[in-house]
Structure formats: C-alpha cells, structure tokens
C-alpha cells in the first residue's frame, strides 16, 4: 500500500527566507504532483515530475524528484507573503491513475 508523508505539516517563515518541504513515498511510482490550495479554495496544479532527477521551477518554487530515494522536495526561495497556502504532494499509485495525497504542508509567510 502506497503511503505518502510530507514534512513539515506546518511551516511559518519570514519573507525573504528559503525553506524546503519534503515528500517521501513508500513504493515505486512514475508520477509525482505538487498542488497548492488557498484557504477554502480548490487545488491548483503546480508541478508534475515524471522521472528520476526531474526538476521543475516556477517563480520562487522549485520541485525535484529522486525516485531512488522515493523523495520529492519543494524548495521555496526568498519567500513572499503571496506564497502562503497549503501545499500537497500526490503520488500516482503504480500506473493506476489513482493519486495518494500527503497530508499537506500549511505554509505561512510573515512580513
């Protein structure tokens, strides 16, 4: 059974600082996704990572995937308040097209 663990679950950081969110998963997978959710809103797709060593960047966010370690990271560079949200990683279960989600990381960026 695929399990997905994110840490930390809560992250409070100052504007301008850097930090990394980690996503570990328990079984082999070909696809890993990062989503953003603002309070009371839907989930927005941020990144899709499909292969070992994949790196995607959008603005101050960069996601990477190490399939051998079963680990993905979401790195935040020089955080700004607008990045405050909950971030989820989701892993596809063995080519099934079903996703297993982590519990999410609630990020708060303080001035």
* Binding residues for other proteins (CB under 8 A): 9, 31, 33, 41-45, 48, 50, 88, 90, 97-104
Beta carbon nearer to other proteins, 37 or 77: 37
Least gap, CB of 9 to other proteins (angstroms): 8
What is the DSSP-derived secondary structure letter of residue 8? -
Beta carbon nearer to other proteins, 83 or 100: 100
Residues 41, 4, 52, CA angle at the centre, nearest 5°?
105
Least gap, CB of 48 to other proteins (angstroms): 4
Least gap, CB of 86 to other proteins (angstroms): 9
CB 37 within 8 A of CB 44: yes
3-class SS string, 9-64: CEEEEECCCCEEEEEEECCCCCCEEEEEECCCCCEEEEEEECCCCCEEEECCEEEE
Least gap, CB of 81 to other proteins (angstroms): 23
Beta carbon nearer to other proteins, 9 or 78: 9
């Amino acid at each position: 059974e695929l399990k997905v663990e994110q840490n930390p679950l809560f992250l409070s950081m100052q504007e301008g600082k850097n930090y990394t969110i980690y996503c570990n998963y328990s079984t082999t997978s070909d696809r890993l996704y990062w989503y953003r959710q603002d309070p009371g809103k839907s989930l927005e797709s941020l990144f899709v990572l499909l292969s070992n060593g994949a790196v995607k960047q959008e603005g101050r966010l960069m996601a990477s995937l190490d399939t051998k370690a079963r680990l993905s990271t979401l790195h935040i560079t020089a955080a700004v308040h607008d990045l405050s949200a909950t971030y989820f990683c989701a892993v596809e279960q063995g080519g099934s097209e079903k996703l297993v989600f982590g519990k999410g990381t609630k990020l708060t960026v303080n001035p």
